[in-house]
Structure 1
Amino acid sequence: MDQVQKKKLFDVSLLKRVFSFAAPYRRYFYLSMFLTVLLALLSPVRPWLIQLSVDKYITNQWAQMLMIVTIIQVGLVIVETAVRFFFSYITNWLGQSVIKDLRVAVYKKVVGLNLAFFDRTPIGTLTTRTINDIEAINDIFSEGIISIVADVLMILAILGVMFFEDWRLTLISLSPFPVLILATYWFKETVNKSFHRVRNAVAALNAFVQEHITGMLVVQAFSAENREFGKFRNINKDHRKANIDAIFAYSIFFPVVEIILAISLGLMVWWGANKVLNYEVTQGVMIAFIMYLNMLFRPLRILADKFNTLQMGMVASERVFKVLDNQDYMADNGTHAAAAMRGEVSFEHVWFAYKDERYVLKDISFQAKPGQTVALVGHTGSGKTTIISILNRLYEIQKGRITIDGVPLQDYQLKELRSRVGVVLQDVFLFSGSVYENITLRNPDISREQVEHAARLIGMHDFILQLPGGYDYSVMERGSTLSLGQRQLISFIRALLYNPAILILDEATSSVDTESELLIQHAIDKLIAGRTAIVIAHRLSTISKADQIIVLDKGEIREMGNHEELMRQEGYYHKLYTMQFQKTGSSV
């Protein structure tokens, strides 16, 4: 799992890349920057008008001018409020638009990545990247760089007016500022470390919860609730500790800022009062300076917090861009269409490893003629499932060549290739939604009539109609409301509906009862005619009629031939068959 590492605040290249996603909304970005400058210019105007009113219009009893200035101030309040509203709305709108585009880009990238990436990356980590981290990037716009620029410009504008009015009074007022700078630096560093720990803890929590909810059946079946709860409690404790450390820093920093503000006001009043008595400073300047200091400290209170928010947004963006920059995807440079595929499969000295050079397939060579049924047999871990995984390019081989109809797999368009290879896996996955949606995978080109026709061929049509709502029955996540056999049959309909040239059955009958197995076997007998079928099964009775049986052991081919030939050899297949015969007490 990736750990959030401390990163320099202004990584210009990274920040530039984040803002490149705002390019389609550049008008709104420029508008937000204009509003930033406008807010900075408006901020010192009202205190200056109050100063003018006290020193000129009240002193000289110019009631008419005082009324005009009051009306102007009310108008300024309305204008400033409206500007702040539009500034806040536009920056947040901009941030939400950017993360919408980013989330689409990340999800599009994720669904195209090689399966090897998912083998080594926890799902919870990817969930954090797609949701939490991208949400943090929104803060770069809403509370980060634009907001920081607005606060800095306002501080500079106020300081400029203060120095223009009375530089000595300004310096006296700002004399406690070195303490504020030290306190701000301590606060920023402390909260920054805590936020890094919080992000890591959130990623750990997401990964842990997702993994254990998915595997809850195993946890409960082995009474491991207490042990796993203990692990969760430790991760949650780390998350709590990181948040409390951040809260502690907030609890200290903000009172310190209030104390420094009070000291600044006290020094200003102490020094300014003497000057007022000596007519060196006007009363209006004193009143205005009180307002200036309050306006100055308001952004300073949260500026350090905004810097941390910006930095966390930068860290999140770096993690998101790592996903976008991941090149572990299946290259789709093929130009060959698969519409007329006949289904002649050829493996030529194929070597494959999931990692490094730890080969799980070693020098595999065989050929399946169009319309033939080829069975793969062997112990668990012998490489049966790996063969079908590389046949439809879920993984890329390291050595050798695989062809269909004489055309290398890489030359086929990936979408075309997989549309012509139907797969029924041992571990059936159904999505949340209706039976109909799970069969069609929400493909609008497949009609209800086609689905019902395929269901009738499997013998599932009557069963589906008995469900509440029929084909609109909700199967819930992972098909939890259906039995293993029913899920297997639905996935079989799903594969047959696409009328594949090559049909792959990976332990397709291993999780079903005898009646369901007979249904599937009947459908297989009808539908593999004229179609190449590659069948994996532990039950040798299901593949005894195959045209060719390939016996695998530790990633190598031990024997090849049909059932009768292999039995006459009295080799590895004969041994497997005899073992099953002795266990079941009956032959095929």
Structure 2
Amino acid sequence: MRTRDFKRPFQYKKIPINELRLQQEKDKTDRARNTAGTIKRIWSYLTREKGMLLLVILMVFISSAMGLAGPFMVGRAIDDFIVTQDPSGLGMLLVWLFIIYGLHSLSVFLQNYWMVGIAQNTVYSLREELFQQFHRLPIAFFDKRQHGELMSRITNDIDNINNTLNQSVIQIFTSILTLIGTVVVMLVLSPLLTLITMMIVPVMFLAIRWITKRTGPLYKLQQQHLGKLNGYVEETVSGQHVIKTFSQEKRVIREFQEHNENLQHSGFWAQTFAGFIPKVMNMLNFLSFGLVGLAGGILAIQGIITVGVIVIFTEYARQFTRPLNELSNQFNILLSAVAGAERVFNIIDEKQEETDETSALDIDSTDGRLTFDKVYFAYEDTPILKEISFTAYSGQTVAFVGHTGAGKTTIINLISRFYNYDSGAITLDGIDLKDIKRSSLRKHMAFVLQDAFLFHATIKENIRYGRLDASNDNIMKAAKDANAHDFIERLPNGYDTILDQDGSGISQGQKQLITIARAILADPAILVLDEATSNIDTVTELQIQDALKRLMRGRTSFVIAHRLNTIQEADKIIMLEQGEIIEQGSHQELIAQQGHYFDLYKGQLKDHA
């Protein structure tokens, strides 16, 4: 039996010192602004639940007070009843101890129960705000980022925040209150023993500072590597057909292992340094107990303090170091959550798609007459379009041709206002596009793209996406006009057939027919076609072309063409080269000119000969 060659679960690797130093340098400039600012923003979400938060804080006060009262009562029992051998009041004291620890347990349960609700409401708001922000961001934002990495923000990072809120907020409150209360009672009982106990605090502070200086950047590296890993997984899952077609499985697995190892080792070192804290704290706890026991014994022998005070102090010394220990542990968890929260807030703070002017118009109808007048557009300081001028009259079909990178898709993006042009003017029925609300403009547009996108839903719901208030009869009519009705009816569940996200189960041509039906149902005045018939078999292509002709009738249509035989009937053909119009006219006019278009057309004829 053939065994598979797996790596060992973990291979020791040195700390990623270069990445750590880069992250530490970045943190020096960002820490004051980011960490404090991020915690403040998380707190602003928590305070939306003021009523429940006040109840939680009240329960924290009660549990902390009961936690302090318990050891004090035990110490009094030793001095008043055990040392004196007078058990007369011991029974009542035990009753009080039962009440104290009962209240402590009840308050701890309630504060945890209510805090879970606050945490869930907080991450619900964060997740909803982040998702809404995704839909307010410009298309350019998504063009520059891995989709899987963005998905990691709304899943892993927000889950990290949720876990921290559930674990850390109450613990931090409790630890601070316990620390303050313990110091006050210790000072009342014995200032000298309090001073001895606090001798370990500077050592604790220096140790924690040394550790957290490394854990913070390592947690951020861990979150970054997790985001990159998620992005890579999403990319490879979506591209399985391409990977298998080119037999790149081994390369993809190797690259995944690199991402996985980066995450493994950054996580290993983050957890390793974080694990130092409880070990250091335990060692200092034992040192503190030893000092308290030694000094307390000497003071008790001299009659300065009682045995009960030593017992109380020993317990309070433990309670004094325990909050410090818990605060240091929670600080590590908090750093991890802050790293995730920063990634979430970075998206929320991204510049949104430019808002419409308050004077922007809602247009109820349009003739579809669209004019470009000396339009210039640059993407990240790189000129894409230069002095573009043309007019598409109502009902005309305008086709764009040219080599890859000539600017065809950019023109479409400007028409739909996915981008705003830098200078010149684009007008619709004489109104500048910037003076029309985006939602109003796009309401009169429909797109049939080269890559047909369908949602994980029924065919009926996918077609209805073009007009949500459409009846079943409207949907069926649109499908018939798109030549999609016959094949839909042959499916096991007809229009109620559920499609996967990539539309598997039906052919590429059938997916395209569904998107055409969706566009027909939307009944747009302006239509955008991005080579909707590419990579389709001949029979289906004829069906699609017939459906497109029916769809384009009476509408202003913009076609991005790669195969010139599909646009010979266009009213106007615009040839682009390096962002400039070099020729425009009808097919016959351009052929007669025997220029660039003629050469391109002749070359395609030769290729298909």
CA distance in 1: counterparts of 2:198 and 2:559, whole angstroms? 81
Note the residue ranges of structure 1 that are not aligned, 5 or more in a row: none
Deviation at 1:502, TM superposition (A): 0.9
Distance in 1 between residues matched to 2:215 and 2:491, nearest whole Å:
55
Correspondent of 2:448 among 424, 433, 438: 424
| Matching residue's letter, 2:121 | S
Which range is displaced more, 71-80 or 572-581? 572-581
Number of equivalenced pairs:
583
Q: Secondary structure at the match of 1:428?
A: coil
Residue number in structure 1 paired with 2:368: 343
Q: Which residue of 2 aligns with 1:553?
A: 577
C-alpha contact 1:139 1:309 (8 A) present in aligned 2: no
Q: Aligned to 2:413, which of 389, 406, 411? A: 389
Kept after mapping to 1: 8 A contact 2:112/2:170: no
Counterparts of residues 142-221 of structure 1 (less than 5 Å): 142-144=166-168, 147-221=171-245
- The separation in 1 between residues aligned to 2:455 and 2:74, in whole angstroms, is 66
Letter of the structure 2 residue corresponding to residue 355 of structure 1: E
- Corresponding residue number in structure 2 for 1:96: 120
Deviation at 1:575, TM superposition (A): 2.0
Aligned 8 A contact 2:377 2:385 in 1: yes
Quote the sequence identity (%). 34
The separation in 2 between residues aligned to 1:580 and 1:251, in whole angstroms, is 67
Stretches of structure 2 that go unaligned for 5 or more consecutive residues are 1-21
Deviation at 1:338, TM superposition (A): 2.9
Q: Give yes or no for the alignment of 1:526 onto 2:526.
A: no
> 1:185 offset after TM fit, Å?
2.7
Check the 8 A contact 1:143/1:310 in 2, yes or no: no
Shift of 1:570: 2.0
Residues 178, 579 of structure 1: CA spacing in aligned structure 2 closer, same or farther, 3 A cutoff? closer
Deviation at residue 425 of structure 1 after TM alignment: 0.8
Alignment partners' CA distance in 2, 1:8 and 1:565: 65
Question: Equivalent residues in 2 for 1:25-44 (5 A)?
Answer: 25-44=49-68
SS of the residue corresponding to residue 197 of structure 1 reads: helix
Q: Does 1:405 align with 2:429?
A: yes
Aligned with 1:306 (options 330, 334, 344): 330
Scaled by the length of structure 1, what TM-score is found? 0.92
Deviation at 1:236, TM superposition (A): 1.7
Matched residue of 1:362: which SS? strand
State the partner residue of 1:480.
504
Structure 1 position 287 matched with structure 2 position 311: yes
Answer whether contact 2:56 2:111 (CA < 8 A) is retained. Answer: yes
Q: Secondary structure at the match of 1:522?
A: helix
CA distance in 2, matches of 1:325, 1:187: 31
| Residue number in structure 1 paired with 2:457 | 433
Contact 1:145–1:310 (8 Å) recurs in 2: no
User: What letter is aligned with 2:573?
Assistant: I
Q: CA RMSD in A?
A: 2.5
Distance 1:170 1:215, change over 3 A: same
C-alpha distance in 2 between matches for 1:391 and 1:320: 32
Kindly provide the amino acid, as one letter, of the partner of residue 122 in structure 1.
Q
Matched, 1:539 2:566: no
Match of 1:517 in 2: 541
Per the alignment, in what secondary structure is the counterpart of residue 379 of structure 1? coil
Task: Please give the secondary structure, in 2, of the residue aligned with 1:43.
Answer: helix
Task: Please state whether the residue corresponding to 1:21 is helix, strand or coil.
Answer: helix
SS at match of 1:337: coil
Matching of residue 377 in structure 1 with residue 401 in structure 2: yes
CA distance in 1, matches of 2:503, 2:308: 75
Using the TM superposition, give the Cα deviation of residue 64 of structure 1 relative to its aligned residue in structure 2, in angstroms.
5.0
Q: 1:177 to 1:549 in 2, by over 3 A?
A: closer
Output the CA distance in 2 between the equivalents of 1:112 and 1:250.
Answer: 38
1:353 pairs with 2:384: no
Question: 2-side partners of 1:398 and 1:486: how far apart?
Answer: 39
Shift of 1:262: 2.4
In structure 1, C-alpha distance between the alignment counterparts of 2:417 and 2:367, rounded to whole Å: 18
User: 1:224/1:459 Cα in 2 relative to 1: closer, same or farther (>3 Å)?
Assistant: same
Amino acid of the residue matched to residue 124 of structure 2? K
* Contact 1:139 1:310 (C-alpha < 8 Å) held by counterparts: no
Q: Distance in 1 between matches of 2:595 and 2:169?
A: 72
Distance of 2:344 and 2:221 partners within structure 1: 18
Alpha-carbon separation, structure 1, partners of 2:202 and 2:395: 84
Q: Offset at 1:9?
A: 6.3
Matched residues in 1 for 2:562 and 2:205: separation?
A: 72
C-alpha change, 1:425 and 1:152, in structure 2 (3 Å) is same
1:478 alignment partner, SS class: coil
Cross-structure match for 1:24: 48
Structure 1 counterpart of 2:566, one-letter code:
T
Name which of 509, 514, 530 aligns with 1:490.
Answer: 514
Whole-angstrom distance in 1 between the partners of 2:92 and 2:466: 67
In the alignment, structure 1 residue 75 sits paired with structure 2 residue 128:
no
Who is 2:530 aligned against? 506
In 2, the alpha carbon distance for the partners of 1:276 and 1:29 equals: 44
- Which residue of 480, 486, 495 maps to 1:456? 480
Change (3 A) 1:3 1:203: farther
Residue identity opposite 2:146 in structure 1: P
Q: Secondary structure at the match of 2:65?
A: helix
- The answer to which of 415-424 and 368-377 deviates more is 368-377
Q: Is the 8 A contact 1:14 1:318 kept in 2?
A: yes
1:8 matched residue in structure 2 = 31
Please state whether the residue corresponding to 1:231 is helix, strand or coil. Answer: helix
Distance in 2 between the 1:419 and 1:162 partners? 72
Partner of 2:156: 132
One-letter code aligned to 1:351: Y
- Greater shift in the superposed pair: 372-381 or 385-394: 372-381
Match of 1:560, SS?
A: strand
2-structure distance, mates of 1:185, 1:206: 32
Report the CA distance between 1:39 and its aligned residue.
2.9
1:326 aligns with 2:350: yes
Q: What is the CA–CA distance in structure 2 between the aligned matches of 1:157 and 1:136, rounded to whole Å?
A: 31
Q: Which moved more, 1:269-278 or 1:560-569?
A: 269-278
CA contact (8 A) 1:431 1:478 kept: yes
- Following the alignment from structure 2 to structure 1, what is the Cα–Cα distance between the partners of residues 124 and 190? 49
* Paired AA for residue 341 in structure 1: T
| CA gap 1:527/1:349 in 2 versus in 1, 3 angstroms | same
How far apart are residue 197 of structure 1 and its match? 2.2
> What does the per-residue CA deviation read over 1:419-461, in whole Å, with 9 as the maximum and x for residues that have no partner?
2111101122222222222222396422222211101111111
Secondary structure at the counterpart of residue 329 of structure 1: coil
Tell me the residue number matched to 2:18.
none
